[in-house]
Structure 1
Amino acid sequence: MNDRLSQATASDAHGGSWAHAPERSNALALRLMRWIAVGCGRRVSRWVLHPITLYFMLFAPGPRRHAKRYLGRALGRPARWRDAYRLVFNFTATILDRVYLLRERMDLFDVQVHSEALVDATLAEGRGAFLLGAHMGSFEVLRAVGRDRAGLRIAMVMYPDNARLINAALRAIAPASRPEIIALGRSDSMLAVRDWLDGGGLAGILGDRALPGESARGNGIRVDFLGREAVFSDGPFRLAALLRRRVIFMVGLYLGGNRYDVRFESLADFRERPANGAERERLIREAVRAYASRLEAHCRAHPYNWFNFHDFWHEDPTP
C-alpha cells in the first residue's frame, strides 16, 4: 500500500528524479494490507489508511515539503499540516480502492461519468486515440468504467518498473483482471502503441512528469503552472502527432467516501497532417499549454486530488 509513498521518499534522496527512485516497499505490509482489504471489506480497511498516512507525514519530510508547496499554490494560501494529511489520505484511499476496482466490485462505488459521447464518437471511428491524464484521482476507475462499455479497451503506456511491487500485489488479488500495459523505453514500444490504436484501443498516458534530464537539456515545454514556470513533457503529443491521433484529456476525480467523477475533454487533434514542421511544432506547443491549463484548473477546483510528492518546480537546492 505504501509503495508509491516510499518511492516519493526515495526520490527526494535522488535529486527528485521520480523515474530513478528505487522501490523500498515492505512486502509484508503489502500482503497484510491485501489480506485486510479482501478479508475485512472496504469500510474496515479505510481505518488502516490513517496510520499509513500518519507514518508518511512523520517520516517523509521531503515529499511532505513538496506536497505543501503544491497545496499552497493550489489553495492560494499557506498549506497547513492537515491539508497535507488530507492529500496523502486521499492518495492512499485511491490505492486501496484499486483492490476493489480490479476485483470488479463496482457496486461499492458511486461513479459519475461526463462527456462519454466524446469517447463513443472516437470509438466509432475505429482508429483509437490517446487518453492523456495525470497523477490525479484514480486511473483504475477509468478502466473500471471501460469494462462496462462494449468495445472500449484501454492500455496504459508507462514505465512499468516504478510500480512493479504494488502491481504484482494487485494482480495477485485479481488475476483475471490484469491491467493492459504497453512498456515505454523499448525498441518496439512505438510499434506496440500503433498496433493497439489501429485495433481501436485507447492508449492512456500520464503527462505530468517531465522525463529525467528534459529540463536540463532544454527539452519539454516551459509554461506557467499554478503561478510558477514548470516543464511539461511534449513527448505524448509528439507521439500523437507522429501517429496522427486525437488526444483526449481524462481524469477520474476522487470526491471522498465512495464517490468518483470521471471526465473526458477534447484536448488536441493531430489526425490531419500539418502543412510543415513549423506548423507541427506550433500545434504541439499549443497542446502542451492546453494540457497544463486543464490540469491547473482541476488542481484549483480539486486540490486534494493531484498526488505530487516530488520537487515538481525544481526548487530544492542542487546537492
Structure 2
Amino acid sequence: MSRPPLHLPAGVDASPGATSWANTPERSNMLVLRFFSWMALRCGRRVARLVLHPVVLYFFLFSPGPRRHIKRYLERAIGQERMSWRDGYRLIHYFASTILDRVFFLRGRMALFDLQVTGAAALDAEAAKGHGAFLVGAHMGSFEAVGASRYTSADPDQLRLAMLMYPDNAQQINAVLGAISEPRFRPEVIALGRPGAMLALRDWLDAGGMAGLLADRTLPRQAQDEGGAGTQRGDSLELSFLGRKAVFNDGPFRLAALLQRKVFFMVGLYLGGARYEVRFEPLADFSQGPAGCGREAQIREALEAYARRLEALCREHPHNWFNFHDFWLEDKR
C-alpha cells in the first residue's frame, strides 16, 4: 500500500530566507572552531580553557546587542536585584566552554567528562521497539553532550540521533562536523525543506532513529498553501515566559503530530568544569492521539508544556540558555 506524500505542516517555514537567525550559523564559526580544535587537540583541554577568558572578555565588551539581550534575560531568570555583570560573563563563558568541549565530544574523548544521564531508559525502550521519536530541546547547554550520552546506554549503536536543521544551517554544521569530528561520532543531519526531506525523516524514525531539533526560535507564518491560496493558519502563540509574553512556534509539534510520534524534552546542561547533566523527559505523545480539533488542542498543550519546562530550566540553570537574540521582541517595540 503506497503512503501519502508528506509535506511540512503549516507553521514550519524551512525556506532559507525565513528569518534572519535562520541564515545565521548557530555556534559554528568555522575559523574559531578550527582554531579551538587544533589548539585543544594539541595542548589538551586544560590549556585550551585558558584561552576562553580573553575570548569571553572581548565578546562581553564589544557585543552591545547580545549583551543587552543577555541582561534582559538574566534579570528575568535570576531577578533584577540579584543579577550582576558577573552573571552575564558567566553565561558567555559557559557558552564558550560548550563550544570548546564540542571538539572533544565529536572526537570521542568521553573520558574527559563527568557525564550524568537521566531518563534515557525510555528512549532505549522506544528504540528497542523500533519506534523513533522526536527529541525537542533549546539553545541550552550542549547538544553534543546529548549525543554523547548514547554511549552510556546498554547498546550504543541502538540509539541513533539525527539533527533536524534548516538548509543553510545544515550546510554550515556539516562543514563543521567534517572539519573537527571523527566519522563514528558524527551525528546525522537531515535538512528540512529539501526534496525528499520528509520521506528521509519518516524512514529514519521508522528505523528506530531519534530526531533532535531545537524549538526556542520563532518562525514566520507560511503565506501560501500548496495551491497558492493564502492561509492564516496560526503557527505561533504568545505564552507567558519568565514573567513576559513571548512568541513560541508550534511547528516542531505539528511535525511530530503529522508523523504520529512521541516527543521527549532533551537538554545537556553544563555544570562547570568538566561536568554535564543530560536529561530526557516525556513531553507529548502523538502516536495514538486524537485527530481534528482534538489534535490542535494536543499540539497547543505540548507547546505550553515545552515553554513551562524551558522556563523552569532557565530559573534552575540560568547561565545555560544561550539566547543572544531579541527573544521578547522588545527592540522592535
Query: TM-score band, normalised by the shorter chain?
Result: 0.7 to 0.9
Mapped to 2, the partners of 1:226 and 1:102 lie a distance apart of: 34
Deviation track 1:66-122 (CA, whole Å, cap 9, x = no partner) reads: 011111110022532211110010001001101000110011000111122211222
Q: 1:279: Cα distance to partner?
A: 0.5
Q: Mean Cα displacement is larger for which, 72-81 or 104-113? A: 72-81
Show the counterpart of 2:279: 263
Residue 304 of structure 1 pairs with residue 307 of structure 2: no
Say which structure is richer in helix.
1
Show the counterpart of 1:283: 298
Show the counterpart of 1:64: 67
Q: 2:84 aligns with which of 58, 76, 80?
A: 80
Residue 251 of structure 1 pairs with residue 267 of structure 2: yes
Relative to 1, partners in 2 of residues 1:243 and 1:25: Cα closer, same or farther, differing over 3 Å? closer
Residue 115 of structure 1 pairs with residue 119 of structure 2: yes
Contact 1:155 1:201 in 2 (8 A): yes
Mapped to 1, the partners of 2:267 and 2:106 lie a distance apart of: 18
Q: 1:17: Cα distance to partner?
A: 3.1
Mapped to 2, the partners of 1:25 and 1:120 lie a distance apart of: 30
Mapped to 2, the partners of 1:30 and 1:254 lie a distance apart of: 19
Relative to 1, partners in 2 of residues 1:20 and 1:27: Cα closer, same or farther, differing over 3 Å? closer
Q: 1:225 aligns with which of 217, 233, 241?
A: 241
Q: 1:55: Cα distance to partner?
A: 1.1
The aligned amino acid for 2:255 is L
Q: 1:189: Cα distance to partner?
A: 1.8
What secondary structure sits across from 2:326 in the alignment?
Answer: coil
Mapped to 2, the partners of 1:25 and 1:250 lie a distance apart of: 20
Residue 180 of structure 1 pairs with residue 188 of structure 2: yes
Q: 2:109 aligns with which of 105, 110, 128?
A: 105
Mapped to 1, the partners of 2:314 and 2:163 lie a distance apart of: 22
The aligned amino acid for 2:93 is F
Show the counterpart of 2:20: 17
Relative to 1, partners in 2 of residues 1:75 and 1:210: Cα closer, same or farther, differing over 3 Å? same
The aligned amino acid for 1:317 is K
Mapped to 2, the partners of 1:311 and 1:100 lie a distance apart of: 31
Deviation track 1:185-225 (CA, whole Å, cap 9, x = no partner) reads: 223221111110000000001011112458x9953122101
Show the counterpart of 2:8: none
Residue 42 of structure 1 pairs with residue 49 of structure 2: no
The aligned amino acid for 1:204 is G
Show the counterpart of 1:155: 162
TM-score normalised by L of structure 1: 0.88
Q: 1:168: Cα distance to partner?
A: 2.4
Mapped to 2, the partners of 1:151 and 1:140 lie a distance apart of: 18
Q: 1:165: Cα distance to partner?
A: 4.8
Q: 1:24: Cα distance to partner?
A: 12
Contact 2:113 2:274 in 1 (8 A): yes
Equivalenced residue count is 302
Q: 1:30: Cα distance to partner?
A: 4.0
Relative to 1, partners in 2 of residues 1:309 and 1:194: Cα closer, same or farther, differing over 3 Å? same
Show the counterpart of 1:8: none
Q: 1:56: Cα distance to partner?
A: 0.8
Contact 2:174 2:189 in 1 (8 A): no
Show the counterpart of 1:236: 252
Contact 1:223 1:289 in 2 (8 A): yes
Q: 1:283: Cα distance to partner?
A: 0.3
Show the counterpart of 1:316: 331
The aligned amino acid for 1:113 is V
Q: 1:34: Cα distance to partner?
A: 2.1
